[in-house]
Chain A
Amino acid sequence: MTREALIDSGRIARFLLAAVIVFVFITLLTPVVLVVWASFFDSSFLSFPPPGYTLKWFAQAAEHGAFLRGFETSAKVAFGATCLGVFLGTAASLAIVRSGLPGMKLIQGMLLSPMIVPNIVIGIALYVFFIRIADGIGIDLTNGLWGLILAHTLLTIPWTVRLVCANLVGLNRSIEEAAANLGASPLRVFTRVTLPMMRSGVIAAALFSFIISFENLEVSLLLVQPGSTTFPIAVLQYLEFKMDPAVAAATTVQVLIVASALLISDRYVKLSRVV
């Protein structure tokens, strides 16, 4: 093959790669762009083209108490499930990767199993389980946020285990060994060397966990306590009676908040390196 032909094939490959990247970005971003666009439609019906544009749906979404209450509950539950899940998942990941004990692969598989069970099945099973606990020992986890937080923790642990295990496997252990050789105690090695090196994996796990918990619908449907609701449930219930752009407005605000949180996080940890 001549040099010119090689250059031409290289250009074609680069062009194809760029085209695939653009296609993927368009596929990923189109739904978000459409939701944001629809939130400004001046029509009760989501039909194209819109007759005009307005900001009234944002005001209407703000007045819909269920969206606000749902947002607050979802944020609390996601925060609690993220803290618990990342703590437990990180500890489990250390044991799986570092302990060298037999059966660790099996334990890893069990910890990842909630990802392959349909969420609605998890929700029903936990609901029945919580009822049995309430009848047995008098602690009612279906009443209050703790049941929901524990249920969502089940969803956040697999993400944490996957991400932190991958991170741990890639760590250079010679740095920890050097610290130990220089006289650092095991606890000091862990807090001063291992944990900082795991930072990117733990932060990625926390981000994914928060998002997975915040947007969960199926598990929450059965476990949310009477008098309370989560944001996804509030959206679903709103859509049963109306399909106007107020839902798009509420979702746009959610997208903005999540995007802002990601940008703020990026100031402290470069997300492109951890995700």
Chain B
Amino acid sequence: MSRVSRRDLLKYSAAAAAMPMTSILPALANDKRVVFGTWGGDSERILRETMAVVAKERYGIEVVFDVGTPSARKTKLIAQASRPRNTMDIPWLVDSDMYQMSARKIVKNIVPADIPNYENLIEDFRTDYSVPNCYGALVLVYNNSVTPPASIKDLWRKEYAGQIGVTDLSYDKIIPMASVAFGGSTSNYAPGYEALLELKKNGVRVYASNEAVGAALKSGEVKIALMWKGRAYTWQQQGVPISYVTPSEGAYPTFFVMGVTSNTGVPELANQVLGAALDPEVQVAVARVIGQVPTVKNAKLPPDLEAGIGFSEADRAKFIKADHAYAAEKASEAREFWNQKFKG
């Protein structure tokens, strides 16, 4: 066996040390690469296994996932708004966040004709600047041992006092829901603030996460919750004794939407990836894994899953419509109300 000289060792060590340096130099032309900003966990995994595969096989595009919290992704987008080229080509955010990105011109308007399968997107879900690939909505979830609530307003009934659980991070939906139930609207939060203070007097538990609400429903710590339909379905499948119903005022939807950054270097490829996200098989796979409902008409869920997480046309027609401009204007006020007055 030949011995490695000290000179060779130094040479190999220098080469090894320089390896990570190659990535910080301007990328060699990799024309078919799209960076996709996303949540991690199951949502990233299922898009990696489905959407990225469709993009690769159908269009030869490599999708690179930039995983981070919504705040981190928004910070990156804003910090790069004036750069010649954004490192993120497609941000995936909830509709209210994407509205803010569009208002700042960080994402550009889409051209429907350039996006494969766009024609199957449900008309009501279309916006000028984003493509929703799935959605869910907050519904009323209740333990099978209690009288089922029928409306958001029912949560204020004395028989439910001290038995209601909500998720901390859902405050920006709970406030408009309360407003709608008590004579206000998604453009007038004042009645909601007042009503929520009454609910606080009755006793309401605020949990750090959706899963903590699930654990509380399982243990019987709470009997009623405002929760995403997909989560409630999953918990029901796991044996938690609950049922759920769309409130008579309407469910509050959240759309998971994709946009294309104004300074992307690969707009055509980004549109093709959006098309891959609208592929019916991709959407059904997403629904199976994260319980969010497809947004294209040609995606058919299995009947049991459709019954568990889906929304009928009548349900969709009654969805509480968010006023993103008003929500953005009142964001600080709503957060302060929730943290200081409602939780405090």
Contacts and interface: CB of A to CB of B under 8 A. Distances in A.
Contacts of B75: 124, 127, 222
Contact of A226 (B35, B40, B209): B35
Interface string B9-52: 00000000000111111110000000100011111110000000
Nearest to A240: B41
Interface string A60-89: 000011100000000000000000000000
Contacts of A44: 238
A47 B24 contact: no
Contacts of B238: 44-45
Q: Could you say which interface size class chain B belongs to?
A: 35 or more
A226 B72 contact: no
B215 A243 contact: yes
Interface stretch (A17-25, A103-111, A141-149, A200-208): A141-149
Contacts of A146: 20-21, 23-24
B56 interface: no
B80 interface: yes
A221 B215 contact: no
Given A140-B26, A221-B68, A243-B212, A128 B79 contact: yes
Interface of B: 20-27, 35, 39-45, 64-69, 72, 75-76, 79-80, 83-84, 87-88, 209, 211-212, 214-215, 218-219, 238, 240, 290
A190 interface: no
Interface in A236-257: 236-244
Interface stretch (A28-36, A131-139, A262-270): A131-139
Nearest to A241: B41
Nearest to A145: B20
A229 B24 contact: no
Counting contact residues on chain A (CB < 8 A from B), the size range is 35 or more
7 contacts: A131-B83, A229-B40, A237-B40, A238-B40, A239-B209, A240-B40, A243-B214
Given A222-B72, A222-B75, A143 B87 contact: yes
A127 B79 contact: yes
A225 interface: yes
Given A124-B75, A135-B83, A225-B23, A240 B39 contact: yes
A233 B66 contact: no
Nearest to B88: A226
A47 B218 contact: yes
A150 B67 CA distance: 20
Q: Which of A66, A234, A244 has the largest number of chain B CB atoms within 10 A?
A: A66
Contact of B87 (A65, A142, A145, A238): A142
A227 interface: yes
Contact of B80 (A131, A225, A227): A131
